[in-house]
Amino acid sequence: TGLITFDPGFGNTGSCKSAITFMNGEKGILRYRGIPIEQLAENSTFVETAYLLINGNLPDRKTLTRTSVMLSDFSLLHEDMKFFYQNFPRKAHPMGILSAMVNALRSFYPELIDLDEDLNFTFLRLISKVRTMAAMAYKISRGHKVVYPRPDYSYCANFLHMMFDSPVIPYQMDDDLVDALNVFWILHADHEQNCSTAAVRVVGSGKVNIYAALSAGISALWGPLHGGANQAVIQMLESIQQEGLSIPQVIAKAKDKNDPFRLMGFGHRVYKTYDPRAKIMKKICDKVLSRCKHLDSLLNTAMELEAAALSDAYFQEKNLYPNVDFYSGIVLRAMGIPTNMFTVMFAIGRLPGWIAQWREDMLDSNQKISRPRQIYMGENIRDYTPIDERP
Ligand code: CMC
Protein backbone atom coordinates (compact mmCIF):
# COMPACT_ATOMS: atom_id res chain seq x y z
CA THR A 1 0.00 0.00 0.00
CA GLY A 2 3.06 2.27 -0.13
CA LEU A 3 2.61 5.58 1.63
CA ILE A 4 -1.17 5.53 1.79
CA THR A 5 -2.49 6.06 5.33
CA PHE A 6 -5.54 4.08 6.38
CA ASP A 7 -7.98 6.46 8.09
CA PRO A 8 -11.50 5.01 7.99
CA GLY A 9 -14.12 7.74 8.38
CA PHE A 10 -11.32 10.36 7.97
CA GLY A 11 -11.16 10.79 11.77
CA ASN A 12 -7.54 11.96 11.55
CA THR A 13 -7.47 13.67 8.19
CA GLY A 14 -7.39 17.44 7.84
CA SER A 15 -8.92 17.74 4.39
CA CYS A 16 -8.77 21.52 4.08
CA LYS A 17 -7.56 24.70 5.76
CA SER A 18 -10.48 26.70 7.08
CA ALA A 19 -11.06 29.96 8.96
CA ILE A 20 -14.79 29.42 9.53
CA THR A 21 -15.48 27.22 12.57
CA PHE A 22 -13.29 26.21 15.49
CA MET A 23 -14.10 23.10 17.53
CA ASN A 24 -12.33 21.59 20.51
CA GLY A 25 -13.87 18.20 21.19
CA GLU A 26 -12.08 17.58 24.49
CA LYS A 27 -13.17 20.87 26.04
CA GLY A 28 -16.53 21.21 24.29
CA ILE A 29 -15.75 24.48 22.50
CA LEU A 30 -17.48 25.75 19.36
CA ARG A 31 -16.81 29.14 17.77
CA TYR A 32 -17.96 30.65 14.48
CA ARG A 33 -15.30 32.98 13.04
CA GLY A 34 -13.83 33.15 16.55
CA ILE A 35 -17.07 34.07 18.36
CA PRO A 36 -18.22 31.55 21.01
CA ILE A 37 -21.47 29.78 20.14
CA GLU A 38 -22.87 30.76 23.56
CA GLN A 39 -22.52 34.48 22.72
CA LEU A 40 -24.11 34.06 19.31
CA ALA A 41 -27.02 32.06 20.75
CA GLU A 42 -27.56 34.74 23.38
CA ASN A 43 -27.22 37.87 21.23
CA SER A 44 -27.34 37.19 17.51
CA THR A 45 -29.96 36.40 14.91
CA PHE A 46 -29.78 33.57 12.40
CA VAL A 47 -29.54 36.05 9.51
CA GLU A 48 -26.65 37.90 11.15
CA THR A 49 -24.88 34.62 11.98
CA ALA A 50 -25.33 33.46 8.38
CA TYR A 51 -23.69 36.68 7.20
CA LEU A 52 -20.86 36.19 9.71
CA LEU A 53 -20.17 32.63 8.56
CA ILE A 54 -20.20 33.45 4.87
CA ASN A 55 -18.40 36.80 4.93
CA GLY A 56 -16.14 36.47 7.98
CA ASN A 57 -17.37 39.42 10.10
CA LEU A 58 -20.59 40.59 11.70
CA PRO A 59 -22.45 43.00 9.40
CA ASP A 60 -22.86 46.70 10.24
CA ARG A 61 -26.42 47.95 10.68
CA LYS A 62 -26.80 49.09 7.06
CA THR A 63 -25.53 45.79 5.65
CA LEU A 64 -27.74 43.79 7.98
CA THR A 65 -30.78 45.79 6.89
CA ARG A 66 -29.90 45.25 3.20
CA THR A 67 -29.39 41.54 3.86
CA SER A 68 -32.81 41.26 5.50
CA VAL A 69 -34.49 43.22 2.69
CA MET A 70 -32.89 41.01 0.06
CA LEU A 71 -33.85 37.84 1.91
CA SER A 72 -37.41 39.12 1.92
CA ASP A 73 -37.28 40.10 -1.79
CA PHE A 74 -35.97 36.67 -2.77
CA SER A 75 -38.42 34.67 -0.70
CA LEU A 76 -40.91 33.84 -3.44
CA LEU A 77 -40.43 30.71 -5.47
CA HIS A 78 -40.72 30.68 -9.26
CA GLU A 79 -44.35 29.67 -9.86
CA ASP A 80 -43.26 26.90 -12.29
CA MET A 81 -41.44 25.20 -9.43
CA LYS A 82 -44.77 24.51 -7.77
CA PHE A 83 -45.48 21.90 -10.45
CA PHE A 84 -42.47 19.90 -9.26
CA TYR A 85 -44.07 19.49 -5.84
CA GLN A 86 -47.36 18.35 -7.24
CA ASN A 87 -45.71 15.39 -8.94
CA PHE A 88 -43.96 13.95 -5.91
CA PRO A 89 -45.94 11.18 -4.22
CA ARG A 90 -47.74 12.56 -1.13
CA LYS A 91 -45.64 10.36 1.14
CA ALA A 92 -42.30 11.48 -0.34
CA HIS A 93 -39.83 12.41 2.39
CA PRO A 94 -39.30 16.19 2.52
CA MET A 95 -35.49 15.71 2.55
CA GLY A 96 -35.67 13.93 -0.79
CA ILE A 97 -37.90 16.70 -2.12
CA LEU A 98 -35.58 19.40 -0.77
CA SER A 99 -32.40 17.97 -2.30
CA ALA A 100 -34.15 17.60 -5.69
CA MET A 101 -35.60 21.12 -5.52
CA VAL A 102 -32.28 22.74 -4.59
CA ASN A 103 -30.65 21.01 -7.54
CA ALA A 104 -33.50 22.20 -9.77
CA LEU A 105 -32.97 25.82 -8.63
CA ARG A 106 -29.85 25.91 -10.79
CA SER A 107 -32.00 25.84 -13.94
CA PHE A 108 -34.00 28.83 -12.73
CA TYR A 109 -31.11 30.94 -11.37
CA PRO A 110 -27.95 29.88 -13.21
CA GLU A 111 -25.94 33.05 -12.62
CA LEU A 112 -23.49 33.27 -9.72
CA ILE A 113 -22.49 36.79 -8.78
CA ASP A 114 -18.85 37.56 -7.86
CA LEU A 115 -17.79 35.26 -5.02
CA ASP A 116 -16.05 38.15 -3.23
CA GLU A 117 -19.30 40.15 -3.13
CA ASP A 118 -20.52 40.61 0.48
CA LEU A 119 -24.15 40.34 -0.55
CA ASN A 120 -23.95 37.55 -3.08
CA PHE A 121 -27.35 37.18 -4.77
CA THR A 122 -27.08 33.42 -5.22
CA PHE A 123 -26.28 32.84 -1.56
CA LEU A 124 -29.11 35.06 -0.34
CA ARG A 125 -31.49 33.51 -2.82
CA LEU A 126 -30.63 30.08 -1.53
CA ILE A 127 -30.99 31.01 2.14
CA SER A 128 -34.34 32.64 1.45
CA LYS A 129 -35.81 30.17 -1.03
CA VAL A 130 -34.80 26.99 0.79
CA ARG A 131 -36.93 28.18 3.71
CA THR A 132 -39.88 28.81 1.36
CA MET A 133 -39.36 25.43 -0.31
CA ALA A 134 -39.38 23.61 3.02
CA ALA A 135 -42.62 25.25 4.17
CA MET A 136 -44.21 24.67 0.76
CA ALA A 137 -43.28 20.97 0.83
CA TYR A 138 -45.11 20.68 4.14
CA LYS A 139 -48.21 22.55 2.97
CA ILE A 140 -48.49 20.58 -0.26
CA SER A 141 -47.90 17.25 1.50
CA ARG A 142 -50.94 18.05 3.65
CA GLY A 143 -53.04 19.15 0.68
CA HIS A 144 -53.17 22.68 2.08
CA LYS A 145 -53.01 26.01 0.31
CA VAL A 146 -49.48 27.37 0.01
CA VAL A 147 -48.87 30.41 2.23
CA TYR A 148 -46.68 33.19 0.84
CA PRO A 149 -44.07 34.98 2.97
CA ARG A 150 -44.82 38.37 4.52
CA PRO A 151 -42.30 41.19 4.05
CA ASP A 152 -42.91 42.54 7.55
CA TYR A 153 -41.87 39.30 9.30
CA SER A 154 -38.35 38.30 10.32
CA TYR A 155 -36.70 35.32 8.66
CA CYS A 156 -37.65 32.94 11.48
CA ALA A 157 -41.17 34.33 12.01
CA ASN A 158 -41.85 34.04 8.30
CA PHE A 159 -41.01 30.35 8.33
CA LEU A 160 -43.54 29.67 11.08
CA HIS A 161 -46.05 31.83 9.21
CA MET A 162 -45.58 29.89 5.95
CA MET A 163 -45.80 26.59 7.78
CA PHE A 164 -48.82 27.21 9.96
CA ASP A 165 -50.92 30.10 8.75
CA SER A 166 -54.21 29.18 7.12
CA PRO A 167 -56.99 31.21 5.49
CA VAL A 168 -59.42 30.03 8.17
CA ILE A 169 -57.21 29.82 11.25
CA PRO A 170 -54.64 32.66 11.22
CA TYR A 171 -51.37 31.67 12.92
CA GLN A 172 -50.79 33.48 16.21
CA MET A 173 -47.13 34.48 16.14
CA ASP A 174 -45.43 33.57 19.41
CA ASP A 175 -42.21 35.47 20.15
CA ASP A 176 -40.83 32.72 22.39
CA LEU A 177 -41.16 30.17 19.60
CA VAL A 178 -39.58 32.59 17.12
CA ASP A 179 -36.65 33.06 19.55
CA ALA A 180 -36.34 29.30 20.01
CA LEU A 181 -36.23 28.77 16.24
CA ASN A 182 -33.65 31.52 15.91
CA VAL A 183 -31.37 29.80 18.44
CA PHE A 184 -32.01 26.37 16.93
CA TRP A 185 -30.85 27.61 13.52
CA ILE A 186 -27.83 29.47 14.95
CA LEU A 187 -26.70 26.29 16.73
CA HIS A 188 -26.94 24.30 13.50
CA ALA A 189 -25.38 26.89 11.19
CA ASP A 190 -21.93 25.26 10.89
CA HIS A 191 -19.90 22.46 12.40
CA GLU A 192 -16.66 22.27 10.43
CA GLN A 193 -16.00 19.11 8.38
CA ASN A 194 -19.01 16.97 9.34
CA CYS A 195 -20.41 14.41 6.89
CA SER A 196 -22.67 16.78 4.90
CA THR A 197 -20.17 19.67 4.82
CA ALA A 198 -17.44 17.29 3.70
CA ALA A 199 -19.88 16.11 1.00
CA VAL A 200 -20.43 19.71 -0.15
CA ARG A 201 -16.66 20.26 -0.32
CA VAL A 202 -15.90 16.94 -2.04
CA VAL A 203 -18.63 17.38 -4.66
CA GLY A 204 -17.79 21.09 -5.03
CA SER A 205 -14.09 20.32 -5.53
CA GLY A 206 -14.93 18.97 -9.00
CA LYS A 207 -16.08 22.56 -9.72
CA VAL A 208 -19.71 21.55 -9.99
CA ASN A 209 -22.26 24.37 -9.53
CA ILE A 210 -23.19 25.36 -5.98
CA TYR A 211 -26.74 24.00 -6.23
CA ALA A 212 -25.51 20.50 -7.06
CA ALA A 213 -22.95 20.64 -4.24
CA LEU A 214 -25.59 21.75 -1.72
CA SER A 215 -28.02 19.14 -2.95
CA ALA A 216 -25.32 16.53 -2.17
CA GLY A 217 -24.97 18.05 1.30
CA ILE A 218 -28.70 17.78 1.91
CA SER A 219 -28.66 14.12 0.86
CA ALA A 220 -25.72 13.43 3.18
CA LEU A 221 -27.49 15.14 6.08
CA TRP A 222 -30.53 12.89 5.70
CA GLY A 223 -28.92 9.84 7.39
CA PRO A 224 -29.88 8.86 10.97
CA LEU A 225 -26.25 8.97 12.12
CA HIS A 226 -26.04 12.62 11.02
CA GLY A 227 -28.91 15.12 10.61
CA GLY A 228 -31.57 12.43 10.81
CA ALA A 229 -30.70 11.88 14.47
CA ASN A 230 -33.15 14.55 15.72
CA GLN A 231 -36.02 12.61 14.11
CA ALA A 232 -34.57 9.33 15.39
CA VAL A 233 -34.44 10.69 18.98
CA ILE A 234 -38.17 11.45 19.02
CA GLN A 235 -39.00 8.09 17.44
CA MET A 236 -36.82 6.40 20.07
CA LEU A 237 -38.48 8.27 22.97
CA GLU A 238 -41.94 7.48 21.60
CA SER A 239 -41.20 3.81 21.14
CA ILE A 240 -39.72 3.58 24.67
CA GLN A 241 -43.05 4.89 25.97
CA GLN A 242 -45.24 2.82 23.64
CA GLU A 243 -43.38 -0.45 24.28
CA GLY A 244 -43.24 0.30 28.01
CA LEU A 245 -39.45 -0.21 28.12
CA SER A 246 -37.74 0.74 31.35
CA ILE A 247 -34.74 3.09 31.24
CA PRO A 248 -32.31 0.29 32.33
CA GLN A 249 -33.66 -1.89 29.50
CA VAL A 250 -32.93 0.87 26.95
CA ILE A 251 -29.43 1.40 28.32
CA ALA A 252 -28.79 -2.36 28.16
CA LYS A 253 -29.97 -2.46 24.54
CA ALA A 254 -27.64 0.42 23.62
CA LYS A 255 -24.69 -1.42 25.20
CA ASP A 256 -25.48 -4.81 23.63
CA LYS A 257 -23.10 -5.29 20.70
CA ASN A 258 -25.46 -7.89 19.17
CA ASP A 259 -28.23 -5.30 19.05
CA PRO A 260 -27.93 -2.63 16.31
CA PHE A 261 -29.78 -0.15 18.56
CA ARG A 262 -27.81 2.95 19.58
CA LEU A 263 -28.86 5.67 21.94
CA MET A 264 -29.88 8.34 19.47
CA GLY A 265 -28.69 11.85 20.32
CA PHE A 266 -25.68 10.44 22.16
CA GLY A 267 -22.05 10.38 21.06
CA HIS A 268 -20.10 12.48 18.63
CA ARG A 269 -17.04 11.98 16.46
CA VAL A 270 -15.35 15.13 17.77
CA TYR A 271 -16.95 16.00 21.14
CA LYS A 272 -15.69 13.77 23.91
CA THR A 273 -17.58 15.81 26.47
CA TYR A 274 -21.01 17.50 26.56
CA ASP A 275 -21.78 19.06 23.16
CA PRO A 276 -21.90 22.85 23.88
CA ARG A 277 -24.92 23.12 21.57
CA ALA A 278 -26.78 20.50 23.61
CA LYS A 279 -26.39 22.62 26.78
CA ILE A 280 -27.99 25.62 25.05
CA MET A 281 -30.68 23.46 23.46
CA LYS A 282 -31.57 21.97 26.83
CA LYS A 283 -32.19 25.48 28.24
CA ILE A 284 -34.38 26.36 25.25
CA CYS A 285 -36.20 23.09 25.74
CA ASP A 286 -37.01 23.90 29.37
CA LYS A 287 -38.27 27.37 28.39
CA VAL A 288 -40.45 26.23 25.51
CA LEU A 289 -41.84 23.24 27.36
CA SER A 290 -43.00 25.30 30.29
CA ARG A 291 -45.64 26.47 27.77
CA CYS A 292 -46.37 23.15 26.06
CA LYS A 293 -47.16 20.82 28.92
CA HIS A 294 -48.36 18.03 26.64
CA LEU A 295 -44.74 17.29 25.64
CA ASP A 296 -43.58 16.95 29.23
CA SER A 297 -43.61 13.16 29.24
CA LEU A 298 -41.17 12.95 26.32
CA LEU A 299 -38.86 15.41 28.07
CA ASN A 300 -39.08 13.42 31.29
CA THR A 301 -38.10 10.23 29.48
CA ALA A 302 -35.25 12.12 27.80
CA MET A 303 -33.97 13.46 31.12
CA GLU A 304 -34.15 10.04 32.80
CA LEU A 305 -32.31 8.50 29.86
CA GLU A 306 -29.65 11.19 29.93
CA ALA A 307 -29.05 10.76 33.68
CA ALA A 308 -28.88 6.96 33.38
CA ALA A 309 -26.45 7.09 30.44
CA LEU A 310 -24.18 9.68 32.03
CA SER A 311 -23.80 7.55 35.15
CA ASP A 312 -23.22 4.30 33.24
CA ALA A 313 -19.65 2.97 32.93
CA TYR A 314 -20.06 2.05 29.22
CA PHE A 315 -21.01 5.60 28.24
CA GLN A 316 -18.37 7.10 30.53
CA GLU A 317 -15.55 4.92 29.18
CA LYS A 318 -16.47 5.72 25.59
CA ASN A 319 -17.00 9.43 26.31
CA LEU A 320 -20.57 9.35 25.05
CA TYR A 321 -22.47 12.52 25.98
CA PRO A 322 -25.68 14.07 24.67
CA ASN A 323 -25.25 15.85 21.35
CA VAL A 324 -27.33 18.71 19.92
CA ASP A 325 -29.98 16.35 18.60
CA PHE A 326 -30.87 14.91 21.99
CA TYR A 327 -33.05 17.90 22.90
CA SER A 328 -33.64 19.66 19.59
CA GLY A 329 -36.41 17.30 18.48
CA ILE A 330 -38.44 18.12 21.58
CA VAL A 331 -38.08 21.85 20.86
CA LEU A 332 -39.20 21.34 17.26
CA ARG A 333 -42.19 19.29 18.43
CA ALA A 334 -43.17 22.13 20.74
CA MET A 335 -43.21 24.44 17.71
CA GLY A 336 -45.58 22.08 15.94
CA ILE A 337 -43.02 20.91 13.38
CA PRO A 338 -43.90 17.36 12.23
CA THR A 339 -41.25 14.72 12.91
CA ASN A 340 -40.47 14.05 9.23
CA MET A 341 -39.56 17.75 8.82
CA PHE A 342 -36.92 17.74 11.58
CA THR A 343 -33.97 17.05 9.32
CA VAL A 344 -35.23 19.70 6.92
CA MET A 345 -35.07 22.15 9.84
CA PHE A 346 -31.46 21.12 10.38
CA ALA A 347 -30.78 21.63 6.64
CA ILE A 348 -32.17 25.18 6.63
CA GLY A 349 -29.92 25.98 9.60
CA ARG A 350 -26.82 24.35 8.09
CA LEU A 351 -27.20 26.09 4.73
CA PRO A 352 -25.08 29.19 5.59
CA GLY A 353 -22.30 26.88 6.82
CA TRP A 354 -22.36 24.81 3.63
CA ILE A 355 -22.31 28.00 1.55
CA ALA A 356 -19.43 29.47 3.58
CA GLN A 357 -17.43 26.24 3.26
CA TRP A 358 -18.14 25.91 -0.47
CA ARG A 359 -17.11 29.55 -1.01
CA GLU A 360 -13.92 29.09 1.01
CA ASP A 361 -13.07 26.05 -1.08
CA MET A 362 -13.70 27.90 -4.36
CA LEU A 363 -11.52 30.84 -3.28
CA ASP A 364 -8.65 28.62 -2.10
CA SER A 365 -6.18 28.48 -4.97
CA ASN A 366 -4.36 25.57 -3.29
CA GLN A 367 -7.43 23.40 -3.01
CA LYS A 368 -7.40 20.34 -5.24
CA ILE A 369 -10.12 18.03 -6.44
CA SER A 370 -10.97 15.59 -3.61
CA ARG A 371 -9.65 12.20 -4.49
CA PRO A 372 -8.89 9.89 -1.54
CA ARG A 373 -6.97 6.66 -2.06
CA GLN A 374 -7.81 3.19 -0.73
CA ILE A 375 -6.18 0.11 0.73
CA TYR A 376 -6.91 -2.52 -1.90
CA MET A 377 -8.01 -5.82 -0.33
CA GLY A 378 -9.35 -7.67 -3.39
CA GLU A 379 -8.05 -10.51 -5.57
CA ASN A 380 -4.57 -10.32 -6.99
CA ILE A 381 -4.15 -10.68 -10.79
CA ARG A 382 -6.11 -13.59 -12.32
CA ASP A 383 -7.16 -14.60 -15.84
CA TYR A 384 -10.53 -13.97 -17.39
CA THR A 385 -12.60 -17.20 -17.45
CA PRO A 386 -14.95 -17.70 -20.45
CA ILE A 387 -18.56 -18.13 -19.29
CA ASP A 388 -18.80 -21.87 -20.16
CA GLU A 389 -15.70 -22.69 -18.11
CA ARG A 390 -16.84 -20.97 -14.91
CA PRO A 391 -17.56 -23.24 -11.94
N1 CMC B 1 -25.13 4.45 21.66
C2 CMC B 1 -24.39 3.35 22.02
N3 CMC B 1 -23.11 3.17 21.71
C4 CMC B 1 -22.50 4.13 21.01
C5 CMC B 1 -23.18 5.31 20.60
C6 CMC B 1 -24.54 5.44 20.96
N7 CMC B 1 -25.21 6.52 20.60
N8 CMC B 1 -22.33 6.09 19.90
C9 CMC B 1 -21.16 5.45 19.86
N10 CMC B 1 -21.25 4.26 20.53
C11 CMC B 1 -20.18 3.29 20.76
C12 CMC B 1 -19.92 2.48 19.51
O13 CMC B 1 -20.68 1.29 19.49
C14 CMC B 1 -18.44 2.23 19.61
O15 CMC B 1 -18.25 1.17 20.52
P16 CMC B 1 -17.00 0.14 20.33
O17 CMC B 1 -15.76 0.96 20.48
O18 CMC B 1 -17.20 -0.87 21.43
O19 CMC B 1 -17.15 -0.44 18.96
C20 CMC B 1 -17.87 3.48 20.27
O21 CMC B 1 -18.97 4.03 20.99
C22 CMC B 1 -17.39 4.53 19.27
O23 CMC B 1 -18.43 4.76 18.32
P24 CMC B 1 -18.18 4.99 16.79
O25 CMC B 1 -19.41 4.63 16.03
O26 CMC B 1 -16.90 4.30 16.37
O27 CMC B 1 -17.93 6.55 16.79
P28 CMC B 1 -18.07 7.53 15.57
O29 CMC B 1 -17.27 8.71 15.89
O30 CMC B 1 -17.79 6.81 14.29
O31 CMC B 1 -19.65 7.87 15.54
C32 CMC B 1 -21.72 8.90 15.94
C33 CMC B 1 -20.18 9.04 16.01
C34 CMC B 1 -22.33 10.28 16.22
C35 CMC B 1 -22.12 8.49 14.52
C36 CMC B 1 -22.19 7.88 16.97
O37 CMC B 1 -21.85 8.31 18.28
C38 CMC B 1 -23.68 7.58 16.87
O39 CMC B 1 -24.08 6.72 16.07
N40 CMC B 1 -24.55 8.31 17.66
C41 CMC B 1 -25.99 8.17 17.54
C42 CMC B 1 -26.50 9.01 16.37
C43 CMC B 1 -26.47 10.50 16.65
O44 CMC B 1 -26.90 10.95 17.70
N45 CMC B 1 -25.98 11.26 15.69
C46 CMC B 1 -25.96 12.73 15.77
C47 CMC B 1 -24.59 13.28 15.79
S48 CMC B 1 -24.60 15.04 16.23
C49 CMC B 1 -25.37 15.83 14.91
C50 CMC B 1 -24.49 15.88 13.73
O51 CMC B 1 -23.49 16.64 13.76
O52 CMC B 1 -24.79 15.22 12.75
Residues 6+ apart with CB under 8 A from 46: 155, 156, 182, 185, 186, 189, 349
Using the mean position of ligand 1's atoms as its centre, give its distance from the Cα of residue 321 in Å.
10
Backbone dihedral angles phi then psi of residue 101, each to the nearest 5 degrees: -70, -40
The whole-chain average pLDDT of the chain stands at: 93
pLDDT given at position 295: 64
Backbone dihedral angles phi then psi of residue 329, each to the nearest 5 degrees: -60, -40
The yes-or-no answer on residue 144 being catalytic is no
pLDDT given at position 356: 98
pLDDT given at position 293: 65
pLDDT given at position 119: 86
Pocket of ligand 1, candidates 323, 328, 354: which has the most ligand atoms within 8 Å of its Cβ, to mutate? 323
Residues 6+ apart with CB under 8 A from 301: 237, 240, 241, 247
**Which residue owns the Cα nearest ligand 1 atom 10?**
267
pLDDT given at position 54: 97
What is the rounded average pLDDT of the residues 358-363?
96
CA 390 to each of CA 347, 379, 381, 387: distance values in angstroms, whole numbers, following the listed order: 50, 17, 17, 5
Using the mean position of ligand 1's atoms as its centre, give its distance from the Cα of residue 26 in Å.
16
What is the rounded average pLDDT of the residues 295-301?
80
**Which residue owns the Cα nearest ligand 1 atom 34?**
268
pLDDT given at position 287: 87
- Round to whole Å and give the CA distance between 291 and 254: 32
What is the rounded average pLDDT of the residues 150-164?
96
- Round to whole Å and give the CA distance between 73 and 202: 32
Backbone dihedral angles phi then psi of residue 175, each to the nearest 5 degrees: -60, -35
pLDDT given at position 104: 94
What is the rounded average pLDDT of the residues 94-113?
91
Residue 14 three-state SS: coil
pLDDT band at 330 (very low <50, low <70, confident <90, very high): confident
pLDDT given at position 299: 83
pLDDT given at position 86: 84
- Round to whole Å and give the CA distance between 387 and 391: 9
The pLDDT of residue 142 is above 60:
yes
Using the mean position of ligand 1's atoms as its centre, give its distance from the Cα of residue 10 in Å.
15
Torsion angle (degrees, nearest 10) of CA 160, 217, 356, 65: -20
CA 266 to each of CA 210, 245, 309, 322: distance values in angstroms, whole numbers, following the listed order: 32, 18, 9, 4
What is the rounded average pLDDT of the residues 39-67?
97
- Round to whole Å and give the CA distance between 10 and 224: 19
State ipTM. 0.97
Residue 175 exposed, middle or buried by CB count within 10 Å (0-12, 13-18, 19+): exposed
- Round to whole Å and give the CA distance between 276 and 206: 34
pLDDT band at 388 (very low <50, low <70, confident <90, very high): very high
The pLDDT of residue 31 is above 70:
yes
pLDDT band at 66 (very low <50, low <70, confident <90, very high): very high
What is the rounded average pLDDT of the residues 115-133?
92
pTM for the whole thing?
A: 0.93
Ligand 1 lined by 276 (C-beta under 6 Å): no
pLDDT given at position 85: 87
Per-residue pLDDT of 240-267, as tens digits, reads: 999 999 999 999 999 999 999 999 999 9
CA 368 to each of CA 14, 19, 214, 267: distance values in angstroms, whole numbers, following the listed order: 13, 18, 19, 32
Catalytic residue among 161, 188, 268, 312: 268
Whether the Cβ atoms of residue 71 and residue 124 lie closer than 8 Å to each other? yes
Mark out the alpha helices in 10-80 (DSSP H runs): 37-43, 46-55, 61-73
What is the rounded average pLDDT of the residues 60-74?
96
Per-residue pLDDT of 187-237, as tens digits, reads: 999 999 999 999 999 999 999 999 999 999 999 999 989 998 898 999 999
Q: How many CB atoms lie within 10 A of CB 309?
A: 24
- Round to whole Å and give the CA distance between 299 and 287: 12
The pLDDT of residue 1 is above 60:
no
The pLDDT of residue 121 is above 80:
yes
Using the mean position of ligand 1's atoms as its centre, give its distance from the Cα of residue 390 in Å.
43
Ligand 1 lined by 329 (C-beta under 6 Å): no
The pLDDT of residue 294 is above 80:
no
Which of 56-65, 100-109, 240-249, 295-304 has the least mean pLDDT? 295-304
Catalytic residue among 165, 275, 325, 361: 325
Q: What is the DSSP string of 135-146?
A: HHHHHHHTTPPP
The yes-or-no answer on residue 325 being catalytic is yes
200/293: higher pLDDT: 200
What is the rounded average pLDDT of the residues 133-140?
91
What is the rounded average pLDDT of the residues 344-368?
96
The pLDDT of residue 305 is above 60:
yes
Torsion angle (degrees, nearest 10) of CA 273, 278, 282, 285: -160
Ligand 1 lined by 333 (C-beta under 6 Å): no
The atom number, within ligand 1, closest to the CA of 254 reads: 2
The pLDDT of residue 379 is above 70:
yes
